[in-house]
Amino acid sequence: MPVTVLLVDDEPLVRAGLRAVLEAQPDIEVVGEAADGAAVIPLVRRLRPDVVAMDVRMPLLDGIEATRALLRTVDEPPRILVVTTFENDEYVYEALRAGADGFLLKRARPAEIVHAVRLIAEGESLLFPASVRQLAAEYGDDGGNRAARAVMERAQLTEREAEVLRLMARGLSNAEIAARLVVGTETVKSHVSAVLAKLGARDRTQAVIAAYESGFVAPG
Amino acid sequence: MPVTVLLVDDEPLVRAGLRAVLEAQPDIEVVGEAADGAAVIPLVRRLRPDVVAMDVRMPLLDGIEATRALLRTVDEPPRILVVTTFENDEYVYEALRAGADGFLLKRARPAEIVHAVRLIAEGESLLFPASVRQLAAEYGDDGGNRAARAVMERAQLTEREAEVLRLMARGLSNAEIAARLVVGTETVKSHVSAVLAKLGARDRTQAVIAAYESGFVAPG
DNA sequence: GATCGCCTCCCCCGTGCGGGGGAGGTCCGT
DNA sequence: ACGGACCTCCCCCGCACGGGGGAGGCGATC
């Protein structure tokens, strides 16, 4: 069964773009569109999409309120992927706190958009996507720092994963972490992979950055 | 010509240990010992060692004052490797500010000690040795944070290297940094290697950690 | 008793990374 | 005119890393 997606954005152009990108995938199906947050709830009830790709900034009812409303009133609510133009959008931060499962920049490459939808659909959280930081760096921006602080709260790292991340953030290699925790390196690799997936990090360096940015580990 | 080393430590046991470790290397020669900072200057004038391995905490004249005195009164002073027991020793911090070229934990493994001496002798600064952070982690300590702050001041990164480090600290890969700086990936690798060497980091993750710990990049 | 999350360990595999060299170019200070 | 620092690019090479799978044990929950 394909992943079903509902698009919510007040700009028809954006909806068309997302539709084009997503429908090009055989395993993704766009089942509906809405131009405003107010229209979302009945549509979700009727269409039961797996994922709602929702703009944060919309007239009448914005993405934050729409997210809250969805999670409050719909049982088995869809996964919510927040879409935004700006990498340091505090609306995004609030949306994540409201229960959104991930966020995505509109200027992300098609492959990244597709990837994000798939991840979200699979139940993964995409709270610290590498693309955000990369794009932020490319544009000389500071990046989604506020949003980063919401990462760890929602990343739901297990105790062991958190322990591994702390050691990663001290510069230990997988082998060193394994020695310290008295487990095999394969085990450490598993935990590291889990951490990377949950944080949306591509490699350990990005995970450590996320740890610092979120305050999970503190410098000094 | 071998690297000549002068050992300065008030504990004979430590001197003997260092001598044993270093003399086992064909390219390193221990040319003298001193039990106190006050004895260092005349010995240095006479023996002209390449490297002085100096304890920070000593009676009469400590390693900090001895470092200052050496750099002030001896022309072509030797390279100074500060040796310490504690990873968060603020004396070490002061010694680095006074002009020491690197620091080393007494509990470091022999191979690391040898490595440190060679690096220092070659003119490299060893200000953020991986061993410090690793050992700190292993002992559950917070690590040499104060000392870390002295790193960047003395690491003498070139403009380009600093630029590369900033991008590393945003999670970019070598290829991405290359694209952003419009240079080849081989060039980026060169800069990255230079950064790692100057920071005493083993990999980019440790370099990014050093960047955060030193305040070179700031979270939030 | 069955299910689920978590921790543990295993396989294969491609590649990005980092070490160790070298080399040519510019610019600058002497 | 020369050295030296810096930036640039090149080679080879080994390995840790990370992706994508799978699988067993264990405790808690239902």
Helix, strand or coil, per DSSP, at residue A107: coil
DSSP A64: H
Compare all CA atoms of chain B with the CA of A134 and give the residue at the minimum distance.
B172
Q: Residue A123 CA to C5 C1' — how many Å?
A: 15
Q: Please answer whether residues B130 and B200 qualify as being in contact, where contact means their C-beta atoms are separated by less than 8 angstroms.
A: yes
- What is the signed CA dihedral for A14, A19, A24, A27, rounded to 10 degrees? 130
Residue B214's pLDDT band (boundaries 50, 70, 90)? confident
Distance from the Cα of A71 to chain B's closest Cα (Å) equals: 29
Q: What is the pLDDT of residue B56?
A: 83
Whether B143 shows a pLDDT value over 80: the answer reads: no
Cα A67 from Cα A51, distance rounded (Å) = 12
φ/ψ of residue B28, rounded to 5: -125, 135
More confident residue, B207 or B21: B207
Residue B123's pLDDT band (boundaries 50, 70, 90)? low
Does B134 contact A213 at a Cβ distance shorter than 8 Å? no
Instruction: Nearest by CB to B220, from A145, A169, A209: name it.
Output: A145
Does B213 contact A220 at a Cβ distance shorter than 8 Å? yes
Does B213 contact A219 at a Cβ distance shorter than 8 Å? yes
Chain A contacts of B136, Cβ < 8 Å? 170
SS3 track for chain B = CCEEEEEECCCHHHHHHHHHHHHCCCCEEEEEEECCHHHHHHHHHHHCCCEEEEECCCCCCCHHHHHHHHHHHCCCCCEEEEEECCCCCHHHHHHHHHCCCEEEECCCCHHHHHHHHHHHHCCCCECCCHHHHHHHHHCCCCCCHHHHHHHHHHHCCCHHHHHHHHHHCCCCCHHHHHHHHCCCHHHHHHHHHHHHHHHCCCCHHHHHHHHHHHCCCCCC
B169 closest CA partner among B126, B212, B202: B212
- And the tokens for A36? 């405003």
Chain B contacts of A173, Cβ < 8 Å? 202-203
Distance from the Cα of B14 to chain A's closest Cα (Å) equals: 27
Q: Residue A158 CA to C4 C1' — how many Å?
A: 15
Compare all CA atoms of chain A with the CA of B206 and give the residue at the minimum distance.
A171
Share of chain B above pLDDT 90, in %: 21
Does B134 contact A219 at a Cβ distance shorter than 8 Å? no
More confident residue, A133 or B121: B121
Compare all CA atoms of chain B with the CA of A205 and give the residue at the minimum distance.
B205
Whether B51 shows a pLDDT value over 70: the answer reads: yes
Average pLDDT over all residues of chain B: 78
Residues 151-210 of chain B with CB under 7 A from strand C are 173-175, 189-190, 192-193, 196-197, 202-205
Does A170 contact B134 at a Cβ distance shorter than 8 Å? yes
Q: What is the pLDDT of residue B186?
A: 94
Q: What is the pLDDT along chain A (220 residues), one digit of tens a residue?
A: 678 999 998 888 788 888 888 887 778 889 999 988 888 989 999 999 989 999 888 877 888 888 888 888 887 788 888 888 765 556 666 776 677 777 777 767 676 788 778 777 766 655 555 444 444 444 444 434 444 445 555 567 888 998 999 999 988 889 989 988 999 999 999 999 988 888 878 899 989 988 887 778 876 5
Q: What is the pLDDT of residue A98?
A: 74
- And the tokens for B63? 């390693």
Q: What is the pLDDT of residue B196?
A: 87
Does A134 contact B172 at a Cβ distance shorter than 8 Å? yes
Cα A32 from Cα A220, distance rounded (Å) = 50
Q: What is the pLDDT of residue B117?
A: 83
State the number of CA atoms in the 13 A half-sphere of A68 facing the CB: 10
Condensed to tens digits (0 to 9), the pLDDT of residues B90-120 reads: 666 677 767 787 777 776 767 678 877 877 7
Q: What is the pLDDT of residue A136?
A: 43
- And the tokens for A206? 């990005």
Instruction: State whether residue B134 sits within 8 Å of chain A by CB.
Output: yes
Helix (H) or strand (E) holding A217: none
Cα B43 from Cα B6, distance rounded (Å) = 8
Mean predicted confidence (pLDDT) in B177-201: 90
Q: What is the pLDDT of residue B92?
A: 66
Chain B contacts of A169, Cβ < 8 Å? 209
Q: Please state the separation of Cα A126 from the chain's center in Å.
A: 2
